[in-house]
Structure 1
Amino acid sequence: MPHPSRILHRLPGIRRLCVLPTAGALVAGTVLAFAPSAAAEPATPAAYPAGASATRYSGLAFDTCTAPPLSAIQAWTASPYRAVGVYIGGITRTCAQPQLTAPWVASVSALQWRLLPIYKGLQPPCGGKPTNAKISRAAATARGQGTAAAADAVAKAKALGMVAGSAVYNDIEHYTQTNATCRTGVLAFVSAWTKELHRLGFVSGVYMNLNFGAKQLSDVYTSTSYARPDALWIARYDSVDSLKGWTNIPDVRWPLHQRAKQFKGGHNETYGGVTINIDTDRLDSPVATVAYPYSVTSTTALNARTGPSTTYPAAKSYAPGTTVRVVCQTPGPAVGGSPVWDKLADGTYVTDRYVSTPSNTGYSRPLPLCTYPFQTTTGVAERIGPGTSFPAGAVLANGSLAWVYCQRAGSAVGTTSVWNRTENGRYVSDYYVSNASNTTYSKPVPRC
């Protein structure tokens, strides 16, 4: 990010809480051609653990070098923003973060804000400040550096209460485009960053300048030499609030809830009497996932099950009044009039009917729908049912994120009869989705 410093001025005034905007629906789309193994670059599988779920945000966001105090976030509920970028770590992170703690993350999330985790580590060998620690020009060394950066970023995210399924964005500042060894080092670093995040069950994001970095990433979008990140966040200070029409980056690349743009650089804005120096961003992309504390409201012990239905075995039980940590919500058989099930941080499920979420009959903000994004491995379209005999919808471009929430059996395609139901209710053959297996079901995705 471009800021050497940030200034925050505390002034009196707090506004009421506004409701988080709902992310847009996934574009419909099924099978066009056979794909290579899901384990190969550029689409590498994300190994989501049991308690994982992804979250995405569509709307305006801001980022600032130092995370603002909670009181400032409360005041900024009067603003058009409902997401904030936070620098969670990295060797070139320049600002102190006295506010950025696990309690701060929990409190900001409870106010229905989404968080955009940023990791600012090694910088290109032909860019950034001369004093910055650099990515190696040697591809093998750069890959090791990218792997180490991802592992550190995950550790930092978890320490702040961000769970698996969260996206983390590696901040790569602008660099010289004509230096071949520099470009190769950066691409190898980003590829290894992506693969390690996927191995650890996180979503890979990259921040780059549109003209001095992002083009090179786009140029290798389909290359089998590099793992492709799941989301791209560009810097382009043209005041154009759009996630399409980016120069040198076709709209079919990172097309479905996979883009963000920083379209206005450092400037002051004031809401609720609090002034912060910010960059302005437009997001339609994955962000952090957190667990929200709620209480068990049943009068008897509440069973936590291995899946979102009473047909799944009970793994444990919670006494009335016990606090449970809810990651996301998913549909299932109705209990007491509620068809909603809550996924807990340990990967078990409880019926929402007996949890103190805002609604016990429907879905509750700010909890997201339980989803597991995987890149498609080729151009593919979604169908209205789990089989090739069902009509196809619009085509998902190669590398699109399929936001999967359950799997079921259907007609055989390639090596599998598994079909993924996506967030919009359509189906895509699992053969074309880069999850753990293209022959059988992939945990932790539940069965439909």
Structure 2
Amino acid sequence: MPHLSHLSHHEPPPSTPQPTPHRRGLPTRHRARSRVTALISALAVTVAAAAVTADQAVADPATPVTYPAASSATRTQGRFFDTCTAPSLAALAAWRGTSPYTGVNIYIGGRNRGCAQPNLTASWVRSAAAAGWSLVPTYFGDQPFCVYGSKPYRYTATGAAARGDADGTDAVAKAKALGLLPGSAIYADVEHYDRSNASCVAAVRTYVSQWTRTLHRNGYLAGVYVHQDSGLRDLAGSYLSTTLARPDAVWMTRWDGVASVTGWPTARDTLWAEWQRAKQYRGDHVETWGGVSMNVDSDVIKGPVATVAKAYRVTSSTPLNVRSAPTTSASIIGRLPAGSTVSVVCQARGQRVGSTSVWDRTTTGGYVSDRYVSTPSSTTYSAALPRCASPGQITIGTPVNTRSGPGTGYTNLNRPLQGGALAYVACQKSGSLVGTTRVWNQLVDGRWVSDYYVSNRSNTTYSAPVPRCP
């Protein structure tokens, strides 16, 4: 996804057998090729016959994410750009509102990262997020040994798992240093490679699987940036593997000028189907907005991005109670002085206080009523803040029904969650028994799904830190 100038994904001319280096690492121009329908169909048949077991919530490929209290996933839909060096805040300000972009990629680390990052600090992250930019964190770590181009750091078939773990561990450390909170998605950059080498394909799958497991253990969502004709094909082929952890989101490169997260030739729409996709649809070019020119790649996303806390003011005239859950009956775990600053991670629905039932989750993991916080709205959710969500993947390969309430007796909404889809869980409530649990999850969009089919910390009882539904 980088360009030659700042390391991005460039597409080779039709006559060129191998891709040329790009700016982020080594982009390559891709042309649509035949679908992998035979393999996908075979996998679908296998999954349809699979039985649901009691320990499925902790099995591959849907490894559970261990979310800490002060965490939340943030998802967005729209266009973003990526450029090798994080732009200055002044450049972002010039592009904000004048360009079609609402997000920007940031290269947070990795031994193959090719550009210096003089602007990329925790302060820059806070300021960019406060200005309304969605941030797409990318880690340019080691590449497979058969990668096209000249990236110096590569892993072997036998070293892929260890490298995936090491890169995942370092990516989490880099994310935390920048203020990217747990629940954020971090995308591993996997450049275009020679997939005729079976050993290399296996190495890529192993690396991505271990990257995913490591991020999940640390409370982060695992994304991957891939070429449509190598990484995307191979991860789609192992989507229903019973031994490889499946990444939560895919960001693919295909420079066809079509800004769409559906209709991809090498991964059917039922794979990574629930706010889990991004596409780089145009490579290396210069755009000018607000009088500022930048060399960028153009992308579209409907998926998870970084979660960054935002600062607001306590508006109450007396100290504001911080509670363990979004209700006044929950225990008090802290107090904020009147007029002080509170760092808000996300917003949840809870007990009504005054004019609002919205509560704000803080970076301490506690909740304060939004009635006493200077967010943009005093009656409902604020667009500047995400809904609190602790996503888990659907653990079976076939679609799971969503309902209008917490039970099988409620209306089937005919909007199922596909196998492997992310269920963005807002809260949990007891309902009808399914498998080993009566717990049902309400999603951020209001749909309900049995917790039995969602990979979280338990499929028998409630999972921290998800709050109870009011």
Q: TM-score range by the shorter chain?
A: over 0.9
State the secondary structure of the residue aligned to 2:244: coil
Q: Provide the C-alpha distance between the structure 2 equivalents of 1:105 and 1:232, rounded to a whole number of angstroms.
A: 23
1:411 to 406, 419, 432: 432
Residue in 2 that maps onto 1:52? 71
Q: Provide the C-alpha distance between the structure 1 equivalents of 2:224 and 2:184, rounded to a whole number of angstroms.
A: 13
Residue in 2 that maps onto 1:180? 198
2:292 to 271, 274, 289: 274
- Would you say the 8 A contact 2:283–2:297 is kept in 1? yes
Correspondence list, 1:275-314, <5 A: 275-314=293-332
Q: Provide the C-alpha distance between the structure 1 equivalents of 2:394 and 2:288, rounded to a whole number of angstroms.
A: 42
Q: How many residues align?
A: 423
- CA deviation string 1:244-292 (max 9, x = no partner): 1111211100011000000000100001000000000010010000111
Q: TM-score, normalised by structure 1?
A: 0.92
Residue in 1 that maps onto 2:381? 363
2:134 to 101, 108, 114: 114
1:209 to 227, 247, 250: 227
Residue in 1 that maps onto 2:52? 35
Q: Which runs of 5+ in 2 are unaligned?
A: 8-47
How far apart are 1:372 and its partner, in Å? 1.2
* Deviating more after overlay: 390-399 vs 229-238: 390-399
Q: Provide the C-alpha distance between the structure 1 equivalents of 2:295 and 2:150, rounded to a whole number of angstroms.
A: 26
Residue in 2 that maps onto 1:21? none
State the secondary structure of the residue aligned to 1:38: helix
- CA deviation string 1:302-336 (max 9, x = no partner): 00000011011110111111111100011112212
Q: Which runs of 5+ in 1 are unaligned?
A: 8-30
Q: Provide the C-alpha distance between the structure 2 equivalents of 1:248 and 1:76, rounded to a whole number of angstroms.
A: 33
- Would you say the 8 A contact 2:143–2:151 is kept in 1? no
Q: Provide the C-alpha distance between the structure 2 equivalents of 1:150 and 1:413, rounded to a whole number of angstroms.
A: 35
- Would you say the 8 A contact 1:4–1:94 is kept in 2? no
How far apart are 1:384 and its partner, in Å? 1.0
Residue in 2 that maps onto 1:86? 106
Residue in 2 that maps onto 1:16? none
Q: Provide the C-alpha distance between the structure 2 equivalents of 1:297 and 1:197, rounded to a whole number of angstroms.
A: 37
Q: Provide the C-alpha distance between the structure 2 equivalents of 1:76 and 1:417, rounded to a whole number of angstroms.
A: 49
- CA deviation string 1:126-164 (max 9, x = no partner): 0143452112211xx311111111111011011111100
1:347 and 2:365 correspond: yes
* Deviating more after overlay: 205-214 vs 31-40: 31-40
Q: Provide the C-alpha distance between the structure 2 equivalents of 1:358 and 1:429, rounded to a whole number of angstroms.
A: 34
Which AA in structure 2 matches 1:440? T
- Would you say the 8 A contact 2:187–2:223 is kept in 1? yes
Q: TM-score, normalised by structure 2?
A: 0.88
How far apart are 1:32 and its partner, in Å? 12
Which AA in structure 2 matches 1:70? L
Residue in 2 that maps onto 1:224? 242
Residue in 2 that maps onto 1:396? 417
C-alpha RMSD of the superposition = 1.5
How far apart are 1:4 and its partner, in Å? 3.2
- Would you say the 8 A contact 2:395–2:453 is kept in 1? yes
Which AA in structure 2 matches 1:314? I
How far apart are 1:53 and its partner, in Å? 0.2
Which AA in structure 2 matches 1:253? L
Residue in 2 that maps onto 1:3? 3
Bigger relative contact order, structure 1 or 2 (CA pairs below 8 A, ≥6 apart): 1
> Given the superposition, is the C-alpha separation of residues 302 and 439 from structure 1 closer, same or farther in structure 2, using an over 3 Å criterion?
same
- Would you say the 8 A contact 1:341–1:350 is kept in 2? yes
Q: Provide the C-alpha distance between the structure 2 equivalents of 1:154 and 1:219, rounded to a whole number of angstroms.
A: 27
2:163 to 119, 142, 145: 145
